[in-house]
Structure 1
């Protein structure tokens, strides 16, 4: 979506709001370990003490059965529940270097935006592995890279196959196209200054994989800021808002604003505004299968509502 009412926003905003990353910079290649030098990983060739500084990496390590090897995590790694009991070493914005060093890791796993931190870790003789988290396909790249790092390639292959099957099953329905808007942030109580998912990002990919047509899929940036007017012009069949960790009451109030301010919007008129509070949904990790299923169910309901409204 281009033109008046829409403007691009940078990767930092998307990362803060969505927990979506921009991929690793090419300059990291000189100092980022990529899993192809087993001799450098100790006698067993496997990372045994891992610090994870990205929620998607943390969730993936546990899904691979390597949770016992994770010795510390970032402030936002809350899945699975066992990760909440681990020591915290800051965030991707404000990492606790002293805490990282004190954990004694033989591997530090970073997201794609953490190039500066990777340089600092290299200066401390700490090995870093950057795993991207920008696109849906990056979920599988991360699974493969971490499976190699902790010597569980078989588990990695099985996990990837299961998730691909879950995504395919979620999108198995067919019928008329469903035009959807995915809102990642807006001011409470108002319908203005929306940040929506555009193309080339994990959430936009997941929306399409669930069978929807992204109303802002032709935007010039992965995330764009828009006013209400472009959303009204798009005539969406479905509006999805992310509100990770919010209470049911807060989510209900969020949805009620649409009914008060934009009652004529097709999605609003048909009752197809969904405020999703699941904290795992924006994370490009092993929960991607249930995320696709969650969105696909909404897409199917929006399609049925649109057909009934003809």
Structure 2
């Protein structure tokens, strides 16, 4: 009675499966640093970054034009300063963030308030958590963020430039004479890093020996007496800001400290070493140069 029904049904099924296939083809997925797979129906168009480091990574991965929100101190690249701020990394303005309607939020694993991030997820906002702990983690973060933003070519290129630059530094300093180093993260309380910390890995890359590298905590607190006893040949510090070298001046009160006696008190802008971004390569080059200066003063 309805001879064309099977044909029509076949056409409808073909269209249906075609639409499903197209949706699946558009879906993008990536594993975050919390070990969870995050999938989006299509590349993100409105991204919120909840740390200055994530902001840099997004711009470097080609997703800067998709950013609609950042947090305080997101100062690189210069374009980031113009974006709406949704509070600080440790105290988010969720109401303002939600009104900006992000379709993807990039969170900091240990730096953002867990309860606020979880609330975003309960509201249905996809959250991708990052916290690179080594060089390869930075490279893959670029690639994964680019995947979620639909800028894979640029992310892949940025990751390869980073890998290649670090490989060249490693080869150049592979046989360099070791230099005992102290890196100061903070002044009060006095804080440093161990060998598992990303900065500690940079020290090792450049042929340095972190005098507190064996401590168990990533960012241990130490006493001034412990530093004097370790007597590092080089003292490196970032400071409170990109140009503030006051931490180095403090140590000049100890003229018998080897680093002071040889004038091996070196400053590296903190954003170049303390953010897990491609600019770590620039910071690594500077740190390696400082250790070469120290070797020449022996």
- Which is higher, the Rg of structure 1 or of structure 2? 2
Q: How does 1:9-158 map to 2 (within 5 A)?
A: 29=36, 34-35=37-38, 37=39, 40-41=40-41, 45-113=42-110, 114=112, 115-158=114-157
Distance 1:295 1:132 in 2: 22
Pairwise CA distance, 1:98? 0.8
Q: Deviations over 1:236-255 (max 9, x none)?
A: 111101115254xx41x432
Shift of residue 117, structure 1, vs aligned partner: 2.8
C-alpha distance in 1, partners of 2:258/2:210? 15
Counterpart pick for 1:223 among 216, 219, 222: 219
Cα RMSD, aligned residues only: 1.9
CA distance in 2, matches of 1:122, 1:256: 46
Return the match for 2:258 from 246, 261, 266: 266
Q: Which residue of 2 aligns with 1:184?
A: 185
Which one scores higher on RCO, CA 8 angstroms, separation ≥ 6? 1
- SS at 1:240 equivalent: strand
2:78 and 2:272 map into 1 onto residues whose CA distance is 11
SS in 2 for 1:290: helix
Match of 1:292 among 271, 281, 284: 284
Which segment is superposed worse, 200-209 or 101-110?
200-209
Contact 2:33 2:131 in 1 (8 A): yes
List alignment gaps of at least 5 residues for structure 2.
Answer: 1-31
**Alignment partners' CA distance in 1, 2:281 and 2:206:** 10
May I ask how many residue pairs the two structures share in their alignment? 263
Partner-residue secondary structure (3-state), 2:54: helix
CA distance in 2, matches of 1:97, 1:156: 29
- SS of 1:79's equivalent? coil
1:245 to 237, 241, 248: 241
Could you tell me whether the CA contact under 8 Å between 1:167 and 1:288 is conserved in 2? no
Q: Summarize the Cα distance change of 1:270–1:207 in structure 2 as closer, same or farther, 3 Å threshold.
A: same
TM-score normalised by length of structure 2 = 0.82
What is the aligned partner in structure 2 of residue 276 from structure 1?
268
- Shift of the 155–24 alpha-carbon distance from structure 1 to 2, 3 Å rule, reads closer
Give the match's secondary structure for 1:130.
strand
Deviation at 1:126, TM superposition (A): 0.8
From 177, 185, 194, give the equivalent of 1:198: 194
Per the normalisation by structure 1, the TM-score is: 0.79
What secondary structure sits across from 2:69 in the alignment? strand
Distance across 2 between alignment mates of 1:205 and 1:116: 31
- Matching residue of 1:208: 204
Classify 1:80/1:66 alpha carbon distance in 2 versus 1 (closer, same or farther; 3 Å).
same
